[in-house]
Structure 1
């Protein structure tokens, strides 16, 4: 009977409860967007206060990303054992505390350490919320739902940028971190009341009171209660678990390609998002215009994530995603020649934000579909974690090149090649027949 309930989620129309669950996931992803960009928007002020060079700023930008990578790799997999919802609550507490304490840091080392702690929580939140959005969307709209969930990143970055401009002018860079911590902790009651546990997790792992929790979900889905859970699938002795399950012969190729795609796309994406405000200033724009450029990247991202999700409901996601990667590369090359025109730089920034955010959203939609429920959070978490490693290296590499006399805007041409390489790697992805229909086939 619970199989019918699962079929109701997969094949039925989306109801208000499912949309609400995805909406909460969007809010959770907004925290990720704000947290990543808060360091980018405050980088100039922090650098001025502590007299930091390009490499030092690069390490500060990467500290939060390092924590996010560790959170995705080592905290997110616990969601497959203890549940998506409890892990999200723990990670919200951790990241909120890290943000608040960042405002009190007195040295660059303290700030970097606290950015890492904050990132640990964000890494766990992102992988788990991405899985919940995928599991509560119907098959037809799964790609769109996860892509819309990814718009939370751009929304958080956009609103965070606008607020950062005002807060920086009024109370300085520390107030931006205080605001971020307060908002993060305020989301905890929202999750407690409205975010459901994963139905797939309840049926597969059978935690305490699983039947009661399934029946509460059935009620909210408009389905009758059940008296007994179905027979649980028996796991054979010696079966691989955790990350080893991702690298079994049947999954190894898919997993390695997913890891490579996340690494390349996030390497290019986080260079664009982290360095653009400062590089625009270095190229001759004012500080206000630099922040405006960063905000426009995020504004474009709001539409990019929604656009790729809508296109994926009509055409294969791999085809749409490769197109977005190639267009992003083209726009980055065009951006190199915009140093003398403010309007051209800001206009291209909007389009780069649209397509580069769409690339990340497409990967978030793709990754849950290729993994079984028993390893879904682990698979998504490791994919995002490997991507965060690329994100860590990206700002540091850019800072190193700048310290070696590279022209700021010329870096965009270098990072354009990364998106071309990612589009080529996408051709290597061959999902199994079992996992292909939800996202890769025409809806």
Structure 2
């Protein structure tokens, strides 16, 4: 019998055992209750507890067995694993039916299981984050065993050279090693991110203020969905728009003022990236501004403030923690963007303060290091993990700063105290 057939048979038998457990548990609870004995839960709650005691342990045994086989490399025959799970399900059915008695709190037991499931769902993101971090750290340590950490942090030249050929034993005699100074990459990342924020934050914040404070309900119902469509456009489309439309316009405008601009410049991807992340700021800021109690607005207007003064001195300070969160979320989104930069800014690591020149970002270099015919053990490939670790540290620092700022402004402009 094939594995798929065995698995389908297992699911069918487990479903049958669950149905049997449900009806047996409810029938026993109904008999006890029919005898005039008070119980702590309804018959259906005892029935669902019996189902949980039947299916829960069986699924857990199957999941543990799959984990052992996939991650630890153990060989457990599928038939024996699923058969053992069914045996555990039968034992759980018997135990669940035995627990159907007047003094047993079936409802509390079910709620406890639900709390455990919800806590497990919340822990998945935490464990995933740690798994990503550990996988990056281990490979980054291999890179720093080959290259200097100080040179990586302070170096101003990023040129992997023939390091991947050296790792494969195919380097030509006398060929130079790679240089892995990350400053040009982070400088390009920060430059393009800064341009994007200069576009996204003012437009996004002003659009959210208009939609929440000035726009009629009908206009808001049309404008907000249309604005949020920007978040659903693929980034490759934004890349085409930046490379074909925006970059030539920037070159022409710079030439009009007597400036020399490359077609692969930092301004084009920065502006288009700012347009792309406007919905992140406008939508979140709009929700935060709408959550400010209307009593604050009415009180300010009753004291003689104009609508604009109310927004400036009352609404925005009260909504400032949420606006900061939305802005920093947009910064994190801009730091991780790749396709727009590849298509409009190029892939040359260029340490310059002129945004009209071509430059690249950390994420583009990570993609370049992990694609193509390269030896994985080379410094060129392992540098992607070092860059990923550095970018992780930068985004983590931004998140910590945002939490500190949000708490500080929340204490200063606490809505409940206004």
Which of structures 1 and 2 has the larger relative contact order (alpha carbons within 8 angstroms, sep 6+)?
Answer: 1
Q: Specify the structure having the higher radius of gyration (Cα).
A: 2
**Same fold by TM-score, threshold 0.5 exceeded?**
no
Task: Tell me the TM-score normalized by structure 1.
Answer: 0.27
Task: Tell me the TM-score normalized by structure 2.
Answer: 0.29
